[in-house]
Amino acid sequence: MALPTKLTLEVVTPDRALMRDEVDEVVVPGSEGELGILPGHTTLLATLKVGELWYRQGQEKHHLAIAFGFVEVLPDHVTVLAQVGERAVDIDVQRAERAKQRAEQRLARPPSTADFDFERARIALMKSLIRLQVASRARTRA
């Protein structure tokens, strides 16, 4: 049996299907580190962390910001079920900057108040930083 030459990549969030396309390569932010996936990859199921997903079609790379979820890898198909996902072109940079500032302010406060949730603020900061990183990649390509 011949190995596949392309991968079908699907990225889905609870709100919508972000994309479905044929790609040559995918890199996802696995909870244990980045996972590089090429056609013919062995079957795999892994959890995702906050990070940047990128995929390549020919020589062109595309970037998405994703947060948490799962990736299922088959030899010819990759399905990403993410809690949060945004394409680079859809990211509101000003909103991400404001979220970053709010998270930094929360983290700068002493954790003595009962309503302070350090982990929640840390995750908000990570999400905003990834959004800004992914958005900057879209701006540098344009």
**List of residues 6+ apart from 131 with CB closer than 8 A:** 65, 86, 91, 93, 96, 99
CATH number at residue 31: 2.60.15.10
Angle between helix 93-108 and 118-141 (nearest 10): 150
Tell me the average pLDDT across 1-16. Answer: 92
Whole-number pLDDT of residue 51: 95
Number of domains in the chain: 2
Q: At a CB cut-off of 8 Å and minimum separation 6, what does 97 contact?
A: 128, 132
| pLDDT (0 to 100) of residue 136 | 87
Same domain, 41 and 75: yes
Residues 68 and 110 in one domain: no
Q: The whole model's pTM is what?
A: 0.84
Residues 49 and 99 occupy one common structural domain = no
Q: How confident is the model over 45-86, as pLDDT tens digits?
A: 999 999 999 999 999 999 999 999 999 999 999 999 999 999
Segment 109-140, tens digit of pLDDT: 776 655 557 788 888 888 998 899 898 887 66
User: Is 11 inside any structural domain?
Assistant: yes
Q: Which domain holds residue 135?
A: 90-141
The CATH number that applies at residue 95 is 1.20.5.440
